[in-house]
Structure 1
Amino acid sequence: MLSNNTLKVEGESDAVLFARNELVQDVKITIISHPYLDKMLDKIRTQHIPWEEYRMAGLITEDEVAMIKHVENQSVEDLVPIMAEHGLYYAALYLELMQKLARVDALQKVLVLIHDMLDDHEERIALFHEAGKKDSDFPFGPFHKALRIGDEFIGIQSSKVLTLLICSTNERDIDINEFFRWMTFQLQSPQQHVIDLNIQILDALFHIPAYRRTFWNTPHAIDSLVNILKKSSAPQKVYELTFAIWLLSFDDEVAKHLDRKCHVITTLVDFAKSAVKEKVIRVIIATFRNFIEKAPAENMSAMLVAKLLPLCEHLSTRKWADSEIADDIAFTQNELQQNFASLSTFEVYVSELETGRLQWSPSHLSENFWKQNANRLNEDDQRLLRQLARLLSASINPVVLAVACHDVGQYVKYNAKDGKKYLETMGAKQRVMELMTHEDSDVRYHALSATQKYFAMTS
């Protein structure tokens, strides 16, 4: 459900308001949805649960059975007067049942009852907070416990309710680290609907500033999210993923290190070039604006290498329904233009290496560039040289391979003694020699040239 109001992104200055009517979404349970989940809800809603047998086994009480039977076959409309009078008691009942039951069928049915209670009435989530005041583990604990059951439906539905609980209170869920670890595992699921639903949940949770950094610090979490983005093509999915990245980029630490860790700028530029839907372009450009405002030194050169400036120049000629897109494009374009002249050739070269987008830019072909900068590839324990060696081994792009071979030749030409040793230790020498038989003629030529320079240099 999209908001038509001006909303402030939590964590920003009180004076800074973001009128992003389509960009910032209200945190409502209705935005966490999927046709697969709807089918599961309908299926479980019609299943018979032997509550009397569970009562006789001592799993639930007689009063609890009576309360369940009073609502389990009621429509959303029929629940209105019941919840108006007894809503707090039902919230307490559901929390208690979620905490003590272990049977999959019973937990599934309780989660459907909770869904029906909250459907079109998200304000009733406050009843769960109120009902949970008497127990320090409530209201979050029972749903964390349910995540460990191992049932797909229970996991998804519990995470939905847990998210709504988290986003509807100023109290901070002390088990958010466990929740993010669980979600990171879900993001690697082979089931597409599981991934889709967890992305929607992250979009809701990232409205809370403290949780952006927590997710960032969760092992493998950001890598899993960005890997999904890089493999996506559906506009809505790209939008939801980029929306998550945009919210994360409000955190200074994330904005500073995200591209170096995940090379996300190149991916976003490519999506912006091919995007048809305005909202996709909008959230991408808004993300770039955050990168520039919060960490220009870390992101500016990568944006230039990814050719964001000509893209902004092209986008600036288009008519946009939302004036804020034009404002963000103009801001990004202006910042890139101002920094283009001051950015050193070597900084651009470093960005090419770090993003993996080597191309025949002037620095590669300049003898003066290599005379002045070849030794700088040895700095910081040969960090840049190692990156060049990784591109030789990992890239399948013939242009990247050809440029990398050329650069290895130029590097060794001006680092005859130590350069040969480093290249051999890293395996770059062997890889260049292998590329002399590559199917691409340019790769073969530059690999041969680099090999000749390697052996021509005296020890």
Structure 2
Amino acid sequence: MVIQNKDAVAEVPLALVSNPYLDELTAGLRARPIPWEGYQRATLITQTELNYIKAVEKKTGEDLSRVVDNEGPVYADLFVSLLQKLVRVDTIQSILILIDDLLLDHEERATYFLDLAKKDPSLPYAPLLKCLRSEDDFVPLKASKILTTILCASPKPSTEAAEELFRWTTAQLQSNNPAVVDLAVQVLESVLRQRAVRPIYWNSPHAMDALVKILKTEAPTPQMQYQVIYCFWILTFDTEIAQELNRRYDVIPPLVEIAKSAIKEKVIRVIISTLRNLVEKAPEANLAAMAAVKLLTFTENLSTRKWSDGEILEDVNYLKAELEENFQTLTTFEVYQAELLSGRLIWSPPHQSDLFWTKNWRELKKENYALLRILARLLSTASDPVVLSVAANDIGQYVKRDPSSKKFLQELGVKQRIMELMSHPDQDVRYNSVNASWSLIGGSGRV
């Protein structure tokens, strides 16, 4: 899976949906009889359509291939037509099973469905997208799998279909059913292979938030970690996304933390490949954040390990070389800013350096005190004693050099929060809060 150059993304293996939960639902519904003859008697379907259905009903694998290989376009037209004109849920379920059986292990048959657009531009997507909106438990899941196969096979994926599918996956990522979440992520893994749909997903409301949330707050399994990060990896072949991904979602720190504790080699592999993309596509946007989490040290450690996949070492060494070369050009403030933006403050050298603060304190005033506001927010929201200690220290360092900011900080609630932290259970938090209070109330000494 390791990528050697920007064009090699085309070599990503096709990973279509394979979900035991959906398979179990399918098996439970497959044997149920559908009154096709009754539909024919009610003139809802023709005798010819009935004959075609009976020829494939209950058939799978080679038995199905012998029937449909010569008449694939006919069956695609038939099944989509049935979705359009029949409404009973159990019938829709059965039609979707028939379509999925036709496509299973034969993704090339998706062309039969794509060719329907020649007679009706809304096909094949409109009836399947309608299924996504069904309140039935099974219908949207099966439709999403079929849509995935068709979108992946399309030389020019439908924007409208991708948009609606991504709205659906975003909702499913928030499901309480892990199997449904797994299916939604698999859909994304597959569909995002299509270059044209990546910006659509990136700009889909709340889509990235839902995906990132799984990684940061849901305590995912190693397999789910891999699948979500695989989506990040594919997305970061897009330069605009590589430029914005960490700035918007702060993914570099959790990616590195996951890699440090990962047992599964494939999890480390996909993380290193993602980080490589971020360096290749958008170094200026990502190198400082990588410096802030000590990524160079970690890659040095990784380069000494033995890997079953030799390409991992190649990626690690590439990443290490790029970091060694580029870290030299980073200013101390760029690294400080990246650390601050990550929210993971540690006692790195700038925090207690008078030279650093004398040189850089004005940077915290820029863009309407953007960085100072982040410090204030961390004081209010962080629970880690180290983060609280460092944030209190930095507030004190800043105010000593800009006494005129005291009123502004008081309006942000910083003074009140510092007073509260002076009785914090952690000794370092108390110490740094007391020192910050001296700056805020006009004193000049340190405890």
Same fold (TM over 0.5): yes
Q: Partner of 2:159: helix, strand, or coil?
A: coil
Aligned residue runs from structure 1 range 145-294, under 5 A:
145-175=130-160, 176-230=162-216, 231-294=218-281
Moved more, 57-66 or 93-102: 57-66
1:141 paired residue among 126, 130, 148: 126
**Deviations 1:35-81, CA, capped at 9 Å, x for gaps:** 11111010110122233444455543343333323322223232121
1:327 aligns with 2:314: yes
- In 1, distance between residues paired with 2:317 and 2:434? 46
Shift of the alpha carbon at 1:19? 9.8
> What is the letter of the counterpart of residue 83 of structure 2?
M
Cross-structure match for 1:123: 108
Moved more, 36-45 or 425-434: 425-434
- In 1, distance between residues paired with 2:356 and 2:3? 49
1:306 aligns with 2:293: yes
- In 2, distance between residues paired with 1:364 and 1:298? 22
**Deviations 1:101-129, CA, capped at 9 Å, x for gaps:** 22211111111111222222222222222
Q: Partner of 1:342: helix, strand, or coil?
A: coil
Cross-structure match for 2:97: 112
2:73 paired residue among 88, 91, 101: 88
Cross-structure match for 2:33: 48
Cross-structure match for 1:25: 13
- In 2, distance between residues paired with 1:396 and 1:54? 64
Moved more, 256-265 or 439-448: 439-448
- In 2, distance between residues paired with 1:60 and 1:448? 81
- In 2, distance between residues paired with 1:79 and 1:137? 27
**Maintained 8 Å contact 1:32/1:200:** yes
**Maintained 8 Å contact 2:55/2:67:** no
> What is the letter of the counterpart of residue 128 of structure 2?
F
**Pair 1:426–1:59, CA change in 2 (3 A):** farther
Moved more, 232-241 or 37-46: 232-241
1:415 aligns with 2:406: no
Shift of the alpha carbon at 1:161? 1.0
> What is the letter of the counterpart of residue 443 of structure 1?
V
Shift of the alpha carbon at 1:450? 1.1
Shift of the alpha carbon at 1:18? 6.2
**Maintained 8 Å contact 1:89/1:131:** no
**Maintained 8 Å contact 1:7/1:19:** no
Moved more, 272-281 or 354-363: 272-281
- In 2, distance between residues paired with 1:17 and 1:440? 51
**Pair 1:142–1:18, CA change in 2 (3 A):** closer
- Identical aligned pairs, as a percentage? 46
**Pair 1:8–1:66, CA change in 2 (3 A):** farther
**Maintained 8 Å contact 2:159/2:200:** no
2:349 paired residue among 362, 387, 391: 362
- In 1, distance between residues paired with 2:116 and 2:403? 74
**Pair 1:66–1:8, CA change in 2 (3 A):** farther
**Maintained 8 Å contact 2:347/2:390:** yes
Structure 2, gaps ≥5 residues long: none
1:451 paired residue among 425, 437, 440: 437
Cross-structure match for 2:392: 405
**Maintained 8 Å contact 1:99/1:145:** no
Cross-structure match for 2:373: 386
Q: Partner of 1:128: helix, strand, or coil?
A: helix
Q: Partner of 1:250: helix, strand, or coil?
A: coil
Cross-structure match for 2:415: 429
Moved more, 354-363 or 164-173: 164-173
Q: Name the Cα RMSD after superposition.
A: 2.1
- In 1, distance between residues paired with 2:3 and 2:220? 29
**Deviations 1:137-193, CA, capped at 9 Å, x for gaps:** 111221112111222321111111111111112123131222222221121222211
- In 1, distance between residues paired with 2:60 and 2:357? 74
Shift of the alpha carbon at 1:17? 3.6
